[in-house]
Amino acid sequence: MKILLCFGTRPEAIKMAPLFHELKKQVAFEIKVCVTAQHREMLDQVLDFFEIVPDYDLDLMQTNQTLNKLSASILYKIDEVLREVKPTLVLVHGDTTTSSMVALAAFHLGIQVGHIEAGLRSFNKQAPFPEEINRQFTSKLADIHFTPTKIATQNLLNEGVQSQSIVQTGNTVIDALFWASGKIAEKEYIHPEIELLKSTIPFGKKIVLVTGHRRENFGLGFINLCEALLTIAKRDDVNIVYPVHLNPNVQDVVKEKLANQKNIYLIPPASYPAFVWLMYQSFLIVTDSGGIQEEAPSLGKPVLVTRTVSERPEGVEAGFSQIVGTEQENIEKSIVELLDTFSGFNNSENPYGDGNASQKIVDFLVSKM
């Protein structure tokens, strides 16, 4: 069986990496990798860490390109790759413009599509934007749906997807997290970025780790977050560490509001191993990221989600995360409450997986040969 893995962003690469390595163990599979480089620098860091060399690199990253231009470029360029490779199956991940456009191109050519991390829904097409529509669209095109949770599986069943095409596996991000944690823990492993963090940030206080990149939070959402962080930074027991996303809509606001402020450390976007290390050092995490909501339960870290809705309700229901929105007062109040009262979770079972999702996906594909 010839399988083509296609992805374009850092989160996709992280979640596809363990699956790539698991697939490569199967001599019956011929594996090819195509990256669109929807993200460039951050994608390359992950490829290097997980030792993946793409067979095809479309190199489509452009500063502030529109979604329509990116979509058209992916659809046009991936057509050439699909016609050359002639895969039996194309595997795409999640909810990016890359995943939806690659799935559409494969459908046009009569190639089967497998959708990793299928079935997530917020049921609000504007939040997250454009991810919610991307994943719904990809579900309409996919032939095999690899879902991470029972809720994701039920979402697809409710939409009329046949049960025999759904395989519940857990989320491959947990596989990646365990792989990365093991590598970082090795005595001989030295990462320059981690060493620099150790030498420049005092980790003796409670660390509030912050990330943000969602389009729907551009503008007022990020302004409110920054104002909340300025208030929290007045505490003597807290240091805020904020790897600032490269998007100018994030950079401009965050640096204007938070640069050179006491107890706030603005750093460049952290590489994946460095960010995993930072999560281990943190007391709590404030984020609008989906992947972090999935990873944090395995590390015992509480998450405050700066969004109004999440397609990952399992963590909220289990008490691992809270949806706090983007209002300054609510963000402040929620951070303070955790700083003052959090002492650990009663439940240590991560609802998003046990680290064996990639193996389950491969086992299914082997059984269908």
143 is catalytic: no
The active-site residue out of 39, 93, 115, 117 is 117
Decide: 3 and 31 in contact? Cβ < 8 Å: yes
329 is catalytic: no
Give the DSSP letter string of 30-68: EEEEEE--SS-HHHHHHHHHTT---SEE-----TT--HH
Give the DSSP letter string of 111-138: -EEEEET-----S-TTTTTTHHHHHHHH
The active-site residue out of 39, 93, 213, 307 is 213
131 is catalytic: yes
117 is catalytic: yes
The active-site residue out of 245, 288, 311, 312 is 245
The active-site residue out of 12, 95, 175, 295 is 95
317 is catalytic: no
The active-site residue out of 21, 191, 215, 235 is 215
The active-site residue out of 131, 132, 175, 332 is 131
Q: How far apart are CA 243 and CA 70, in angstroms?
A: 25
Note every long-range contact of 21-27, with CB atoms under 8 Å and residues 24 or more positions apart, other chains counting: 21/50, 21/358, 22/358, 22/359, 22/361, 22/362, 23/362, 23/365, 25/362, 26/362, 26/366
Burial class (CB in 10 A: 0-12, 13-18, 19+), 102: buried
* Residues with catalytic function: 95, 117, 131, 213, 215, 245
